[in-house]
Structure 1
Amino acid sequence: MDALINAEPAASDERPGTIGRLERLCTALVRALPASGAGVSLINEDHTGGGIAAASAPLSRRLEELEFTHGEGPSVTSFDVRRPVLEPDLAGRGMRRWPGYAPDAYGLGVRAVFAFPLQVGAARLGALEIYRDEPVPLSAPALRQAFTFAEVALALLLDGQNGATAAGLDDVLAYRAEVYQAQGMVMIDLGVSLTEAMARLRGHAYAENRYLSDVARDVVAGKLALDVDSV
């Protein structure tokens, strides 16, 4: 597997350390399975933080943003249930399973999604997500390869928590800071719990068809104030 990742051409803007290795892993995965795209996301227990650590293409980043906005999707489900989530037909059961995420992902051309939790023992770091632009399941050999890629991604993340590569992982999470700040502001302004504040931010983002991070940015900048009667 290391040879496969090492053989993957480096992008002109490849980031150093763990993140760069994860980006090569994603592009190598797409070629090996094959798949339309792949991404490695960091997720925390209450789904209010995290971020995409690496992706094979910009669409993978948009899909992660959809999951963060809606608080649901294949990576979130895989993280929560601690096992792979395989949805070969997003237009079918996927629409019922993720009523917020699935229509938006489908509108971006995604037809099948597969997610694998990145966990060891009781520790959970996130998920590896794979998508296809046609409703086709993973074959048995492709599924085995996906598991192997997930194991390698987990090992890279664990290694990256120490030493010089840790800074790269910190950068992945930094852009979520505005969401935490906006959550706290809504909590104080409306006199609600942190959980309720996040629900209101997500509800507004859904109602306005915007990303949660964009709504949070407006709240922090003073351009948007949620009122008691807001969604």
Structure 2
Amino acid sequence: MSDPGRLRRELLSLLADQSGDASSLDRLCVGVVSALPVDGASIAVTSDAAVRVYVGASDPITARLDDLQFTLGEGPGWDAVHDRRPVLVADLAGPSGCRWPMFAPAVLAAGFRAVFAFPLQIGAIRLGALGLLRARPGPLGDDTLADALVVVDVAALTLLDTRMDDPPGPSPGLLPDALGLYRAEVHQATGMLMVQLGVGAQEALVRLRAHAYAAGQTVDEAARDLVARRLRLDGGPPG
């Protein structure tokens, strides 16, 4: 598009649109795919060093891949947030994809070759990451990169508004209600594993991730099973 002002207005219009069932951030991601030469877009938030969850995606496959990063504890979104800089991989099948030995094959199997992630931050505040997927390999052009940075700015300000007690803009309700439940379930499951296994919080979360990966689940699905007592990781019977 390469018209930053127009793109910003279009994205803000999507965020303000309250029609339909999709969340505002889902609509934003769909708009990103329409405006930029990419095939998938997602937005994830980071609540602390251990909890990361997507809150918007352009489609179910992109949402699943973004959530997979939390399950595996690796991926461009993690690196972008941790290093506070964009992660631009033009060909995931090349040497650059080797940094994510579990995540990269899953993305390639889903039909994507290029991945791009941008940290969402305001000053020292880390908010999350914007992820972009593309089926064909190749770098982002200068115009596309400029447009992506406009998306980053809009998404970061939107997420910052949702963290304020009295946000000035039309942002209340942008984050799905499921986000709070997701955090609660993961934290509750981590606490239960600490008791069951006699380990610390970090080790309990690692065990939860490992089980989710082995079982082909996301971490929230495994946490939900554990909280509902359909699952135990200490060898004891469920229930």
Please tell me the TM-score bracket, short chain as reference: 0.7 to 0.9
Q: Tell me which stretches of 4 or more aligned residues in structure 1 moved more than 4 Å.
A: 6-11
Change over 3 Å in CA distance of 1:6–1:173 after alignment to 2: closer
Mark the runs of 5 or more structure 2 residues left unpaired by the alignment: 1-6
Say if 2:8 and 2:151, in contact at 8 Å, map to a contact too.
no
Matched ranges for 1:183-194 at <5 A: 183-194=190-201
Matched ranges for 1:123-138 at <5 A: 123-138=125-140
1:34 is the counterpart of 2:40 = no
Count of residues in Structure 1 that have an aligned counterpart in Structure 2: 222
Change over 3 Å in CA distance of 1:2–1:95 after alignment to 2: closer
Cα shift at 1:109: 1.5
RMSD between aligned residues: 2.2
Deviates more, 1:23-32 or 1:62-71: 23-32
Of 144, 169, 174 in structure 1, the residue corresponding to residue 175 of structure 2 is 169
- SS of the equivalent of 1:115 reads strand
- SS of the equivalent of 1:147 reads helix
Cα shift at 1:165: 3.5
| Residue identity in the other structure for 2:228 | A
| Residue identity in the other structure for 1:193 | G
Matched ranges for 1:191-230 at <5 A: 191-227=198-234
Of 74, 87, 90 in structure 2, the residue corresponding to residue 88 of structure 1 is 90
TM-score, structure 2 length as denominator? 0.84
Say if 1:90 and 1:102, in contact at 8 Å, map to a contact too.
yes
| Residue identity in the other structure for 1:98 | W
Matched ranges for 1:1-231 at <5 A: 1-5=7-11, 12-15=20-23, 20=24, 22-47=25-50, 49-161=51-163, 162-163=166-167, 165-169=171-175, 171-176=177-182, 177-227=184-234
Cα shift at 1:38: 0.6
Q: Distance in 1 between matches of 2:9 and 2:30?
A: 13
- SS of the equivalent of 2:111 reads coil
Q: Distance in 2 between matches of 1:6 and 1:125?
A: 18
Percent identity of paired positions between Structure 1 and Structure 2? 43
| Residue identity in the other structure for 1:25 | L
TM-score, structure 1 length as denominator? 0.87
Deviates more, 1:214-223 or 1:140-149: 214-223
For residues 158-208 of structure 1, the C-alpha deviation after alignment (integer angstroms, 9 at most, x for no partner) is 223334744443625223221111111111111100000011111112222
Say if 1:43 and 1:76, in contact at 8 Å, map to a contact too.
no
